[in-house]
Amino acid sequence: SLAVYPVYIVHMPVQFFFSSLIFPLSSPVFVKLTLVLITTYGGSLLLFEIVRRFKWVRFLFGMKI
């Protein structure tokens, strides 16, 4: 699929960003885990869609121009 490599590239920075916002909250661990999973998935796909629309950035993510 076209999205595999770009999503793989961006998922760690996205996960780190949202984890740094969510982990300090005083919520149950299950809620934190669920929030991190949802935000990482959504943020990674959102960034993929943004990268996919700009041809001059695509090559940085291993996509055909």
Nearest CA among 35, 36, 61 for reference residue 49: 61
pLDDT score for 53: 93
pLDDT for 65 beyond 90: no
Closest alpha carbon to 41 in 65, 62, 10: 10
Q: 64: pLDDT confidence band, cut at 50, 70 and 90?
A: confident
Q: Which tokens in the block code for residue 38?
A: 């949802």
pLDDT tens-digit readout, 37-63 = 999 999 999 999 999 999 999 999 988
Q: Is the pLDDT of residue 1 over 90?
A: no
Backbone dihedral angles phi then psi of residue 3, each to the nearest 5 degrees:
-90, -10
Question: Could you tell me if 63 and 51 are in contact, meaning their C-beta atoms sit under 8 angstroms apart?
Answer: yes
